[in-house]
Chain A
Amino acid sequence: MQLIACPFCGPREEVEFTYGGQAGVAYPEDPAALSDDQWAHYVFFRDNTKGRFAERWNHSHGCRRWFNAVRDTVTYCFEKPAGTTGTAS
């Protein structure tokens, strides 16, 4: 099973983690000001990148904290996060 490097706990098995999708999608500063089209894009539309993809992960069966990771969506290999310990793949 693939090991995923939790920045807080180190490498743990994939089953301990929950996927959170694309990283860096900020909640709109003024949601009421958005058009229907802009709101739809915030709610439903995410990048579907083939290749390097910045994602949110939650160590749900461990420390339960969220973190960002960059992963290749073709090889499924994680890039080693900066400033953390442990190997990512």
Chain B
Amino acid sequence: MSPRTPGSNRSGADASTPHFVRGGRPASDQLPDHPDFLWRNPEPKKSYDVVIIGGGGHGLATAHYLAKNHGITNVAVLEKGWLAGGNMARNTTIIRSNYLWDESSAIYEHSLKLWEGLEEDLGYPILFSQRGVLNLAHSLQDVRDSVRRVEANKLNGVDAEWVDADEVRKICPIVNTSADIRYPVLGATYQPRAGIAKHDYVAWGFARRASEAGIDLIQGCEVTGFTTDGDRVSGVQTALGDIAAGQVLLCASGHTSVLTDMLGIRVPIQSHPLQALVSELLEPVHPTIVMSNAVHVYVSQAHKGELVMGAGVDSYNGFGQRGAFHIIERQMAAAVELFPVFARAHLLRSWGGIVDTTPDASPIVGRTPYENLFLNCGWGTGGFKSTPGIGWCLADTIAHGEPHPYVAPFALDRFVTGALVDEHGAAAVAH
């Protein structure tokens, strides 16, 4: 059954009652039933135990695990636009856990394990495909860093191996592994359990489960202010009226600082445009995911057949959900350098999201100066892969009023203590 039309039953349709009549308007009794809605669209109540600001992947996943793991269902997810219409709809869907540092690999590996059971958990197809990721090395320094990361991954129970250029060619025959290119492929790290998923279905699956559990998902509900009472946030002011809150979680990604500015909290994030693009639909040519930091691009092929590519952020701060075309040009040049066969593909469309980058390329999660306000931001260019993992940990954090051990290292105060989790470059992070 197609997840796009959950209520329809295409395969079981009776051929004698066509849904559409060629050359004319179908009679109303010949129209298919409207598919079932995946979630309710309730009016907001006056008060909730938990208010989550931001109806993207992280907010929806947190809502799901609050209900599933902790039985907390008097919860609202407030979304200023429509559900999962920000970065959740704009990312390149790469899921992996081969980060260098213990703190990072713990949360991302937790997330990857949840991805492996997510389709059953949500009862919804998410097209999770563990096709592996190659992170290419193009210089001796790349090789040394990559081998070090593989060893660190193994010690942390993350599947990882170092493969040489010949093995790269066996895993992904279309990569140009010849020695005479400007940045020859010297080898790669390989994580076979890495993969991709259909981002929209992931969001819809979480939203459906949360809504079924009684959680209110409220769209078109921008937060315009907060009411505070001493060191507590007592409620939020929204486009749809004031809502009292027992606990509040900020899950607003690039717009987090717009919210924290209202509360006088400074957060060291800088919002940048990050662009991605897809080609026209092609026959299957690309069996895995390839990332390269030196020749900066990352590419996979979606189930439908588009080549999905991304690269680095636009240099300046930006909230416009678009970027400059020379960034796209550079990323296409990198893609064609690595995959000569792509030279014949046509660009279908490109788009931009707003990513919240941090000084150490690691997220900021946990406590704030307000005792019942929790923060989740700074995932930068890599938040999609963490969706189930961070949702799980944030739900636990809210239920216990105490940061989950996996998110504790990512506290805001690390910028004062100096205990940074510096994943710049170290984690095969393509920034």
Contact = CB atoms under 8 A, between A and B. Distances in A.
Interface stretch (B19-27, B88-96, B315-323): B315-323
B257 interface: yes
B415 interface: yes
A29 interface: no
Given A1-B325, A40-B416, A44-B359, A76 B320 contact: yes
Q: How large is the interface on B (under 10, 10 to 19, 20 to 34, 35 or more residues)?
A: 20 to 34
B354 to A, nearest CB: 9
B266 A2 contact: no
Interface string A1-41: 11000000000001100110100000000000000110011
Contacts, number: 59
Contact of B257 (A19, A21, A48): A48
A75 B320 contact: yes
Given A48-B257, A73-B320, A19 B415 contact: no
Interface in B53-76: none
A50 to B, nearest CB: 5
Interface in B336-360: 359
B270 interface: yes
B324 interface: yes
B319 A73 contact: yes
Contact of A14 (B320, B324, B418): B324
B257 to A, nearest CB: 4
Contact of B269 (A1, A15, A48, A50): A48
B415 A14 contact: no
Given A2-B324, A37-B416, A40-B416, A71 B268 contact: no
A48 B256 CA distance: 9
The secondary-structure label for the interface of chain A is mixed
Contact of B318 (A1, A14, A37, A73): A73
Contacts of A2: 324
A23 B101 CA distance: 33
A45 B326 contact: no
A15 B326 contact: yes
A48 B319 CA distance: 10
B324 A45 contact: no
B431 interface: no
A50 B416 contact: no
B270 A19 contact: no
Contacts of B315: 18-19
Contacts of B271: 48, 50, 73
A84 B269 CA distance: 32
A53 B54 CA distance: 25
B274 to A, nearest CB: 14
Contacts of B418: 36
Most chain A C-beta atoms within 10 Å of own C-beta, residue among B320, B326, B416:
B416
Contacts of A76: 316, 318, 320
Nearest to B360: A44
Interface in A50-64: 50, 53, 55
Given A1-B324, A14-B326, A48 B316 contact: no
A46 interface: yes
B255 interface: yes
Contact of A74 (B269, B319, B326): B319
A50 B268 CA distance: 15
B270 A46 contact: yes
Contacts of B415: 40, 43-45
Contacts of A1: 324-326
Nearest to A53: B317
B19 to A, nearest CB: 43
Contacts of A49: 317
15 contacts: A1-B324, A1-B326, A18-B315, A21-B317, A36-B418, A40-B415, A44-B415, A48-B270, A48-B317, A49-B317, A53-B317, A73-B271, A74-B319, A74-B320, A75-B320
Given A44-B359, A50-B255, 5 more contacts: A1-B326, A40-B416, A45-B267, A50-B257, A76-B316
Shortest Cβ-Cβ A-B pairs, 3 listed = A48-B257, A19-B315, A40-B416
